[in-house]
Structure 1
Amino acid sequence: MASFTLDSLRERVRGSVIGPDDPGYDDARAVYNGMIDKRPAVVVRPSQVADVMTSVAFAREHELPVAVRGGGHSAPGFGTVDGGLVVDFTAQTGVRVDPATETARSGPGATWADFNHATHAFGLATTGGIIGSTGVSGLTLGGGIGYLSRQYGLSCDNLLSADVVTADGRFLVASETENADLFWALRGGGGNFGVVTSLEFRLHPVDTIYGGLVIYPAAEAETVGRFYRDFIANAPEEFGVFLGFHQGPPVPFLPEQWHGKPVCVIVGAWTGPLDEGEKRWQPILDAAPVAGSFVGPLPYPVLNGLFDPMLPKGMQAYWKADFLASLTDDALGVAVDFGSRVPSMESANHYYPIDGAVQRVAPGATAFAYRNVAFAPVIAGMWHDPADNAANIRWVREYWEALHPFAEPGGYINFMDADDQGRIAQNYGPNYERLAEVKAVYDPENVFRVNQNISPRVDAPSAGTAPGGTPAPAAQQGGATSDED
């Protein structure tokens, strides 16, 4: 490894270069998951794409591992790395909306709260996550499941183009017509293929929705689960609601007797005609005795940020996930058992529906391969006190071990933790081999390995050659330049 000084990097970038001896270093190295305590050699906060290109070249020159931080929400803490270079985009939160074309271009550090704030002004939205503080880039690159998935597909299904800095320092545009193999891989393949510096999305008319959450006592969980399974199978795609297990939150609409007690919830939105909302939600309210509810007309961004106050940066976090072809009685029994033992106020287990528009996309059309399953469950352990780590991690692991026999081989990479690297091929499913081939084209040395990592296929063509051995298009071989502020 060649020796270096941070001054040599500072001379080449216009953004901030923060090293271990600089004020603010501890803040710069901190990520959302307070369990992660890593010490990068340098954190670069780029001011423009040129800084990203320079930073990637610098990291390669000095053999430094590269971590990319967008919203910083990664449960495994992939937004930082010991002894490496962090490209930190958390200040680049701008979102530009074009209401005429119903599209939006997002900065690489924007969260879904940023994105929804910008698009809601025009009565528009696209599929985002469940938590407003989740990063747009990371969620989209892994697929992107949210309230609007059944109606409009995954976040990656609504991605129109992306600007990318590749491992060799080139700037490329990826879309259906430019570097199409890279564009295919970005839609579900995670951060394996380069540093994404902006994303362009298709938007949809979503403004005020009829939604919220209904909370039931844990004793009603089996009844509610069976109801939900049948309800969502026949619900119009305008209904994006999920089943979940929590401890009762200290909110005004839930009587104090349920605060901190195990509860079952149905959360989500009706995005069809607003005047139908009350009628559409009534079966959910009638499914079982209700402990508390908060349902009515809401601006879509309010729903998307509903859980944010409970989930501040800095908590301990450990997650596991799977895909379920269906919510069988056996799987539901596991959910009811472990859901009645949620170990902290912030921990949760959700069963997200991914049917409807998600399933109308062919499994090979994007890198997100699991288009034939009905649910994406996540077991999200979140808590404050490190002294509780062992108990909370044990709940997550034991829950996953009990659920996995009824699940598909792989799970959603955005819900995986750092110890899930052994599941990589299963998580990318039938698209793994093609992803490994594309990885070999754009990152043959695996520079971008701080992620749910795809190893480059060793016998694949090198950069400048498209997967399959054919010469790459001229746009792929070359490299444009861009100065984005």
Structure 2
Amino acid sequence: MTVTLTRVDGSRERLSDEVLGEFDAALRGSLVPGGPAGEPEPRQEWNAMYGDRAALTARCTGTADVVEAVRFARSQGLLVGVRGGGHSVAGLSSIPDGLLIDLSAMRGVLVDPERRLARVQGGAVLGDVDRETQAFGLATPLGRVSETGVAGLTLGGGYGHLNTKYGLSCDNLVEAQVVCADGSVRTASETDDPDLFWAIRGGGGNFGVVTSFTFRLHPVGPVVGFAGALYPLEDLGAIERGWREYATGAPDEVTTLIVTMTFPAAPGMPEVIHDRPVAIVAAVHCGPDPDEGMRVLQPLRELGTPLFDLSQPMPYAAVQTSFDPFFPRGGLRAYWKSQYLDELTDDAIDALVGRALDRPAPLTLVNTFHLGGAVNAVDPEATAFAERTSPFMVSFDTMWTDPAQDEAAIAWGRSAWEEMTKYGNGRVFLNFTGRQDEPLQAGTDTAYGRNLRRLGRIKAALDPDNFFQLNNNIVPTPG
């Protein structure tokens, strides 16, 4: 199976059957060439704009396979990518011309309920973790779509339904096993390799392939208070003003957001919201008493006259899948951009309303997230994830299906983001970042702030040749 791949220096390298055969023999997993004759992908790329198969894929079964893949790529000078959950908005888990290190078979989760810890392999998705931890009435802060990869989410920070009470995903990481650019395997924690541990909590995939994460768990569920009120989109201005007042005074047990979209004609949902532009006010109360949680969430159900109200005590595992239908794997083309706000002013709300009423496609979302609580309680320099002060974040999740609409949809996303810079503080969330026509290091200076210098030094120590460069790239900067 002779294969031609791209090298780190941009040249092309034709690998012989003998070389590939030796690599294949060293793996417990399988080595799969790209092209139409290759095997189906075990995990499809989420963003349909990045559906091309890798020229060569190492389907790893464990840390030893990852070590072999890294060492092989280094020996051949190959450009590499890493796929965990394959849910990167910017397509950072797709590499058509290089070697893809695929962790999708590595999705085991082991829960220690006594110590309240969960060890999670690097290819796991959120649903894998929630299923195992909820068996013990425990959870760790993860995202809001069950098909999201744990690795990319955590390495980039990790927002979800438990943030205000328990912090980001990366704040709940207590240990990680990392295969570094030289093929060495390191254990990173507060006491072992603390610089690496600091860097991977927000620094993305710059420092190695994380083959396992150990998370701190918290008592959550199995039933939580859930608010899900769907209001007419034309009422968004008043709804968001009322939501702002509620969110800023809510207890830390409440994590809340507003999503605007055109609700699809989903089976089992009332016709009044079929293909209707709506503003969804969603929130989770993660306290021990769901009925008390519903009482605390009640004002979110009274911000106007809802078209439909899904609010109820709900299994936490069900909450974690409730947004899944809006984010089908491989079904949407996507370009996202985000902006943090020091204050959600009336003018900012008016701008959001204008954009929400003029979206380029039904499943394009204009979202407002409330942060605060445990997220803001962490010192900005305690982890690589530096944004610890903003109470709000806005994201424009431009999503569409027709490739002919690519240019117009991306232009809309950029324009909406540019308009929001009038009200934002200039900082961005890198996991909500599009890649088209933008360098991979775009936004790293504003996202990392003062932490970028330390990240550059750690990158230089662990990966001086920038072997891991298909990411929100941090340039190695010695000294």
| Cα displacement (A) at 1:394 | 2.7
Q: Show the counterpart of 1:349.
A: 366
Which residue of structure 2 lines up, in the alignment, with residue 4 of structure 1? 15
In the other structure, the counterpart of 1:473 is none
Q: What is the aligned partner in structure 1 of residue 293 from structure 2?
A: 277
1:204 matched to which residue of 2? 218
Q: 1:245 aligns with which of 260, 273, 296?
A: 260
User: Which aligned pairs between 1:80-95 and structure 2 lie closer than 5 A?
Assistant: 80-95=94-109
Counterpart CA distance in 2 for 1:391 and 1:198 is 40
Shift of 1:332: 1.0
Counterpart-to-counterpart distance in 1, 2:35 and 2:366: 41
After TM superposition, the structure 1 stretch with the greater mean CA deviation from structure 2, 122-131 or 7-16, is 7-16
CA spacing shift, 1:18–1:265, aligned 2, 3 Å = same
Question: What is the CA distance between 1:23 and its match in structure 2?
Answer: 4.2
Partner of 2:246: 231
Instruction: Give the match for residue 467 of structure 1.
Output: none
Deviations 1:458-484 (Å, cap 9, x if unpaired)?
x33xxxxxxxxxxxxxxxxxxxxxxxx
The correspondence of residues 331-410 of structure 1 with structure 2, limited to 5 A, is 331-410=348-427
Give the distance between the partners of 1:38 and 1:61, measured in 2 at CA. Answer: 25
| 1:263–1:340 contact (8 Å) kept in structure 2 | no
Of stretches 404-413 and 440-449 in structure 1, the one that deviates more from structure 2 is: 404-413
Identity of aligned residues (%): 40
Alignment counterpart, residue 263 of structure 1, candidates 271, 278, 296: 278
Alignment correspondent of 2:469: 449
Gaps of 5+ in 2: 1-6, 8-12
Choose the corresponding residue for 1:312, options 306, 314, 328: 328
Distance of 2:218 and 2:314 partners within structure 1: 17
Out of 154-163 and 371-380, give the one that drifted further: 371-380
Q: 2:156 aligns with which of 142, 147, 167?
A: 142
> Which range moved further: 357-366 or 208-217?
208-217
Scaled by the length of structure 2, the TM-score of the pair is 0.92
Decide whether aligned partners of structure 1 residues 213 and 383 sit closer, same or farther in structure 2, where only a CA change above 3 A counts. Answer: same
CA apart distance, 1:63: 1.1
Look up the match of 2:54.
Answer: 40
Q: CA deviation at 1:368?
A: 0.6
Higher mean alpha-carbon deviation, 167-176 vs 335-344, is at 335-344
CA distance change for structure 1 residues 55 and 9 in 2, over 3 Å: closer, same or farther? same
Residues 214, 292 of structure 1: 8 Å contact kept:
yes
Once the two structures are superposed, residues 332-354 of structure 1 have per-residue CA deviations (whole angstroms, 9 ceiling, x without a partner) of 11111111123333221222222
Q: 1:449–1:29: structure 2 CA closer, same or farther, 3 Å change rule?
A: farther
Is 1:425 the equivalent of 2:440?
A: no
Paired amino acid for 2:15 = F
Would you say 1:158 and 2:172 are equivalent positions? yes
- Alpha-carbon deviation of 1:100? 0.4
> Could you give the per-residue CA deviations for residues 98-147 of structure 1, whole angstroms, max 9, x where no partner exists?
00001101111111111101101000001110111111111000000111
What is the aligned partner in structure 2 of residue 112 from structure 1? Answer: 126
Cα distance in 2 between the residues matched to 1:247 and 1:201: 36
Distance 1:387 1:212, change over 3 A: farther
Q: Does the 8 Å CA contact 1:18/1:28 hold for their aligned counterparts?
A: no
Listed one character per residue, the Cα deviations across residues 37-91 of structure 1 (whole Å, up to 9, x for unaligned) are 4453310111221111111011111111111101000011111213211111112
Structure 1 counterpart SS, 2:96: coil
How large is the RMSD of aligned CA atoms in angstroms? 1.7
* TM-score, scaled relative to structure 1: 0.91
Shift of 1:455: 0.5
Q: Separation in 1 of the partners of 2:476 and 2:364?
A: 35
- How many equivalent residue pairs? 459
Q: State the distance in 2 between where 1:415 and 1:137 align.
A: 15
1:455 and 1:139, CA in 2 relative to 1: closer, same or farther beyond 3 A? same
Aligned mate of 1:188, from 165, 188, 202: 202
The one-letter amino acid of 1:357's match is A
CA distance in 1, matches of 2:204, 2:54: 21
Letter in 1 for 2:454: R
Match of 1:230, as an amino acid?
E
CA distance in 2, matches of 1:422, 1:70: 22
The separation in 1 between residues aligned to 2:305 and 2:378, in whole angstroms, is 38
C-alpha contact 2:231 2:307 (8 A) present in aligned 1 = yes
Deviation at 1:253, TM superposition (A): 7.4
Q: How do residues 468-483 of structure 1 correspond to structure 2 at under 5 angstroms?
A: none
Find the aligned partners of 1:46 and 1:256 in 2 and give their Cα distance: 46
Deviates most, 69-78 or 27-36:
27-36
Change in 2 beyond 3 A, CA 1:270/1:253 = farther
Change over 3 Å in CA distance of 1:254–1:330 after alignment to 2: farther
346-355 or 52-61, which moves further after superposition?
A: 346-355
What is the distance in 1 between the residues matched to 2:297 and 2:137? 23
Select which of 74, 80, 83 maps to 1:60.
74
Q: Deviations over 1:289-317 (max 9, x none)?
A: 11111011111111111011232111211
What secondary structure is seen at the aligned counterpart in 1 of 2:67? helix
